[in-house]
Structure 1
Amino acid sequence: MKQDKVNVKVVPDTRRSKTGERFPLKLRITYKGIRKYYATGFDATPEEWEQLNSTEAKGNLRRIRQELGIIEKDAARCCEGIVPFSFSQFESSFFEERIYTESVETLYNNYISELQSKDQHGTADSYTTSINCLKKYRRSPQLGHITKEYLEGFESWMISRGRSITTVGIYLRPLRTIMNIARENGLIKPETYPFGKRKYIIPTGKNIKKALTKAQLKQIFEYPTDPGSGMEKAKDFWIFSYLCNGINVMDIALLKHKNAHPSYITFLREKTKRTTKGSPVNIVATRNTYIDGIIAKWGQAYTHPEGYIFNIAEIGDDSVTIRKKVKQFTKNTNKWMKKMGEELGFEMPVTTYVARHSYATILVQSGAPLKLASTNLGHQSLMTTERYFAGFEMGVQAEYARKLVEF
């Protein structure tokens, strides 16, 4: 029987756009005047689509063009084998096959590119780390490989290599997002989705937040340093973070002179700007002599309201450059603070992360309402704040234990 012509082509679905004027790229099948569209897992801006169809496609765009070409060829081959052609048969045959041949790394790379286009470089890095680890466990993983058994095997493999259950969860959450995208785009059938009840549950380690005691904090404040030394700078910025509501280094780097008022400092958390865009949480930290002294010592002279207070980053730096500078500054600060902690005999490494959680814990232990702590930390949920609470000091617990037998 002569097969009526089936037209196969990948096109942008301009009927709906995603964030940033990006359009999903769909596999369009046309048969007897009927058109149906199927997700490919890729999207592009109009400019990127134009490059994809030219000889100018380079780097990631060139890779995407190759992947789309493979999808078109596979779909055309599948259509040729269906006589007489029917969309239902095509869907059954083509997508059943592609579940096992679609590259997980391709889906990761596409999503990573989307994150980078929105300047979410930190999140993009976590996805890169995730796929690199999955490739070490099994080279070139495909959608069909991601089953309950695969995930259980990955967990066991990680544990056997000395990694914690918390780390397993950190690597598998990005994979779950990728599988969610694959499911939403029709690349896998709902019944093959491997996460959830009676399937694979991503482990959650007991993540006890690290916080120093008041006695340890006093030791840090009183620790002697040489003027202008790396240790002095690290100590001052660590204390600045602790006193300014546990502000992280990225937000310190982005503080501008307009954020510094005579009696307080205000800022928005860079980490949550996107998720709180509709109702931004303006954090207010009360200034004191320590904060004033650190700004006077390490701050830059006022030139205009938009100038940065500290010289960690420079006006005009793009987001990638700022992130690299902040990462290096954090690394240097942590190096000196860990050394200080070792000299003071602390069991836990003293990092900028510890400064934030020490602020939260000491604030709550001092009797501050949890709602105040939540507001000062820039949290939208009290549950998030509760996870910062590291618990009472052992001396306090021992005191309560003694009271149990004071009849």
Structure 2
Amino acid sequence: MGSKLSAPGGSSSVRSPSMEDIHTAYKQRNFSRARDLLREACEETESPQEKGQLLSISAAHGDLETVRFLLTEKRVELPVEPTDDNPAVVAAHFGHTEVVHELLESLSGPCSPQRLLNWMLALACQRGHLEVVKLLVLTHGADPENYAVRKNEFPVIVRLPLYAAIKSGNEDIALFLLRHGAYFCSYILLDSPDPSKRLLRKYFIEASALPSSYPGKTALCVKWSRLRLPWVDLDWLLDISCQITELDLSANCLPSLPSIIPWGLINLKKLNLSDNHLGELPCVQSSDEIICSRLLEIDISSNKLSHLPPGFLHLSKLQKLTASRNYLERLFEEENATNWIGLRKLQELDLADNKLTELPALFMHSFKSLSYLNVSRNSLKSFPDPWSCPLML
């Protein structure tokens, strides 16, 4: 992350014989001698810069005792700019979790350490220090979705924590970030397609047994909600399409879907596409292309639909359809509603918060099992004549 970080014992802007001796003692794992030498060096200097360097040296070697001594007794202050020799950055680089915590706890006053925290987080993600990542996010408020930037610099993708973790092969860190506020973006999906697919398939799909008609197969519940996915790749689902019984893609950034969703998912029972940017679903030319005949529930609320997909008219087992908070001006495109036999078992229909002006009897009178209907906050001018269904008005 940025310019190369000096390793313990490497070159330094401040050098004295005692500094060399401190490095040597630490490298030889002689912590007692290193501490004595470091305290002696601290007594000999009045320079805040040199004391700061002593703090960096002890932080680099994970010497918590000396770090505490310098912070509390010698009042060495931790700077908040994320330079390479900042003691907290050094500690994060080498994965010294307790030292990182001690250093950050020493910060006080009105200064905001957010830029420092974000830099440390991206660095720890790149270096593979999961415990440091957890500490920064859960205890100190580092933002998994923020870029690491220094003063007067522009954000670059390599300093995004999730990108850094995935590109470095740190899958455990990537998973933690995704579960604590990080999201996929197009750069990550394009630059790391295979690791992204592996994360989605390995950690966000739950398995259970399929009916005996599918021996050796497991039912899959795909839970890809709240990941801000900009798209869904057909390759992510194609080889498991016959096993998916639940698909949750809610709260993403999807403007469109691959053709297999939902029409090609033969065992799909529940579909949640709410809170996306969908203006339509994939088009089908005939009912022969619709094999998702087991669908029971669909939630397509909070999208940009102007009418319901005509393919819904062929879902003979559908019981619940939620399409509230769209831009529905018509229920279905009537010219496309031919030879349909579906929705006879529809029990719940939510069309609230749309722009409907009518509910065509052509469709409504076919909903023979309807027991719940919500058409509030529309612009209805009339209501269909009563028909034979359990609906209570």
TM bucket by the smaller chain? under 0.3
Going by fraction, where is helix more abundant, 1 or 2? 1
For CA contacts below 8 A with separation 6 or more, give which structure has more relative contact order: 1
Structure with greater Cα Rg: 2
